[in-house]
Amino acid sequence: MFNKRIKIKELLAQEPASQEVTVMGWVRTFRNNQFIALNDGSTNNHLQVVLELGKFPEEILKRITTSASLRVQGIVEPSLGKGQKMDLKAVSIEILGDSDAEKYPLQPKKHSLEFLREKAHLRFRTNTFGAVFRVRHALAFAVHQFFNERGFIYLHTPIITASDAEGAGEMFRVTTLPMDGTAPKNEDGSINYKEDFFGRSTNLTVSGQLEGELGATAFGEIYTFGPTFRAENSNTARHLAEFWMIEPEMAFYDLEDNMNLAEAFIKYIIGYAMDHNAEDLHFLDQRLAEEEKQLPQDKRSEMGLLDKLKFVVDNQFERITYTEAIDILRESNHNKKKKFQYEITGWGMDLQSEHERYLVEKHFKKPVILSNYPAAIKAFYMRQNEDGKTVAAMDILAPGIGEIVGGSQREERMDRLTTRMKEMHIPEEELWWYLDTRRFGTVPHAGFGLGFERMVQFVTGMNNIRDVIAFPRTPGSADF
């Protein structure tokens, strides 16, 4: 058997008592031909491996270079140095894989996040990305645990879809037809997708919601957690072309039930990461504090990362209606001094991210749930309120991120739903299967979508969404 090793995280949690162990990992640094900082990805804390001078041949020593992989067997002893509680006194060292120090792209120094994005295949081997991706894992695990504890069914909705009715965003087409102009055509010259692989035109999904509702109206409560795709050409720090979304759908929920669930969910997964990834979050807290030192005073966050997370977990989210939000924005000094790039034109306008961030960061200084938006700026499936102009929608806005959740109570009344679809030119024939849930035993129900990467951004304090997904897909970029 090859793999009889202890992970460094587990070892560092023990007391050093002359135990004999085998570790494996990658060299971060090697000083004075004596001290190896070894990392195996289980934690950001390196294990200090100590080599007795003269004990190991020169041929071995010169192969201990940055990012070389090693198997080290040795004895654990209390450290004489200050930085760590234990050393591993090496008895034997095996080089598993050499790493040419001249060619290895990541030097043992601080690199910019932009530089590391170009080296995304190796950036997991840095402290920052080690911490980010362990936290991402913890959050993903917590998502499943939260819903599982509550009896939700994890439903895998399709990635390839034929419906283009949802209107959540621009879509990527899926086709096997030739791109060289020889694809079969209709009489009017347009492409004949009846000849395509699925016998119709298909796309990558922008959301699993509509299929999710089919599950909710049988199981009661379901959630999806999978990749979604939007061909939106928005090169922002909050948009990806491929991102992961969590979409719970619940029968017998109204808008308030929906908000309660979303708030409890967000607090739960943040709390989980705080409990299970304290070291990583501490590291990221320090990283962010360092980074913010470079910013002018007024651009710095008022709270550190850990303080912010604790604050979010411990405090109720602010809940206001869209109409109240417009009033607050209109009356704000920020607006009166004409500091918004997009003017507050009044009721009915769509909120821009600068408006959302003003509400969250300047006015309330906490997460905000905005509800009851004008019907005209929301999707067809949202439940129509009795005022005849708003729908039972809710968005959750988070400090530093803006919109993190979008959801609503769904329109369960067939006549209201089809009337709205007609107004919005959405053909009923295409969504016959969706409408069947309203035909056969319809129920009040609700749901929301949480962009997973935005959540990871919020918890890790990373400014750019490209730095919280392993291999980001954005306009003009699909490396690795």
249 part of the interface to ligand ATP, by CB under 6 A: no
**Which residue, 94 or 350, is less far from ligand ATP as judged by CB?**
350
Q: Quick one: which of 74, 406, 461, 472 contacts ligand ATP (CB under 6 A)?
A: 406
> How far apart are CB 343 and ligand ATP at their closest, in Å?
18
> How far apart are CB 64 and ligand ATP at their closest, in Å?
41
> How far apart are CB 244 and ligand ATP at their closest, in Å?
8
> How far apart are CB 4 and ligand ATP at their closest, in Å?
42
> How far apart are CB 350 and ligand ATP at their closest, in Å?
9
222 closest CA partner among 201, 243, 208, 235? 208
Element (H, E) at 226: strand 221-229
Element (H, E) at 322: helix 322-331
**Which residue, 86 or 368, is less far from ligand ATP as judged by CB?**
368
Distance between CA atoms of 115 and 260, rounded to whole angstroms?
A: 41
243 part of the interface to ligand ATP, by CB under 6 A: yes
24 closest CA partner among 41, 15, 35? 41
Q: Quick one: which of 23, 131, 306, 405 contacts ligand ATP (CB under 6 A)?
A: 405
Q: Quick one: which of 23, 36, 204, 245 contacts ligand ATP (CB under 6 A)?
A: 245
# binding residues, ligand ATP (CB under 6 A)? 17
403 part of the interface to ligand ATP, by CB under 6 A: yes
Contact by Cβ (8 Å): 223, 269 = no
**Which residue, 40 or 213, is less far from ligand ATP as judged by CB?**
213
Q: Quick one: which of 123, 134, 230, 355 contacts ligand ATP (CB under 6 A)?
A: 230
> How far apart are CB 72 and ligand ATP at their closest, in Å?
41
Give the CB-side neighbour count of residue 9, counting CA atoms within 13 A: 13
Task: Using only the alpha carbons of the chain, give its radius of gyration.
Answer: 27
| DSSP string covering 436-457 | HHHHSS---EEEEEEEHHHHHH
**Which residue, 11 or 405, is less far from ligand ATP as judged by CB?**
405
> How far apart are CB 333 and ligand ATP at their closest, in Å?
26
**Which residue, 221 or 453, is less far from ligand ATP as judged by CB?**
453
**Which residue, 403 or 412, is less far from ligand ATP as judged by CB?**
403
> How far apart are CB 469 and ligand ATP at their closest, in Å?
9
Question: What secondary structure letter does DSSP report for 350?
Answer: P
Contact by Cβ (8 Å): 77, 16 = yes
Element (H, E) at 203: strand 202-204
Listed ranges 27-35, 97-105, 296-304, 404-412: which one lies at the site for ligand ATP (CB under 6 A): 404-412
Distance between CA atoms of 426 and 411, rounded to whole angstroms?
A: 15
Listed ranges 58-66, 123-131, 240-248, 319-327: which one lies at the site for ligand ATP (CB under 6 A): 240-248
Residues 6 or more apart in contact with residue 134 via CB below 8 angstroms: 277, 280
Listed ranges 52-60, 170-178, 196-204, 445-453: which one lies at the site for ligand ATP (CB under 6 A): 445-453
> How far apart are CB 254 and ligand ATP at their closest, in Å?
19
Distance between CA atoms of 132 and 123, rounded to whole angstroms?
A: 11
240 part of the interface to ligand ATP, by CB under 6 A: yes
Q: Quick one: which of 404, 421, 446, 468 contacts ligand ATP (CB under 6 A)?
A: 404
Span 157-176, contacts to ligand ATP by CB under 6 A: 168-169
Contact by Cβ (8 Å): 191, 177 = yes
Centre a 10 Å sphere on the Cβ of residue 93 and count the other Cβ atoms it contains: 19
453 part of the interface to ligand ATP, by CB under 6 A: yes
> How far apart are CB 474 and ligand ATP at their closest, in Å?
9
- Which residue minimizes CB distance to ligand ATP? 451
How many helices (H) and strands (E) would you count in the chain? 14, 16
Write 233-240 long-range contacts (CB < 8 A, 24+).
233/170, 233/475, 235/474, 235/475, 236/465, 237/463, 237/464, 237/465, 237/466, 238/353, 238/401, 238/402, 238/454, 238/457, 238/465, 239/465, 239/474, 240/453, 240/465, 240/466, 240/469, 240/472, 240/473, 240/474
Listed ranges 279-287, 318-326, 338-346, 448-456: which one lies at the site for ligand ATP (CB under 6 A): 448-456
248 part of the interface to ligand ATP, by CB under 6 A: no
Distance between CA atoms of 237 and 257, rounded to whole angstroms?
A: 31
Contact by Cβ (8 Å): 397, 360 = yes
435 part of the interface to ligand ATP, by CB under 6 A: no
**Which residue, 125 or 378, is less far from ligand ATP as judged by CB?**
378
> How far apart are CB 108 and ligand ATP at their closest, in Å?
33
Single-letter residue type at 5: R
> How far apart are CB 465 and ligand ATP at their closest, in Å?
6
Contact by Cβ (8 Å): 160, 204 = yes
449 part of the interface to ligand ATP, by CB under 6 A: yes
β-bridge pairing 86-97 and 47-50: parallel
Interface residues toward ligand ATP, by CB under 6 A: 168-169, 230, 232, 239-240, 243, 245, 403-406, 449-451, 453-454
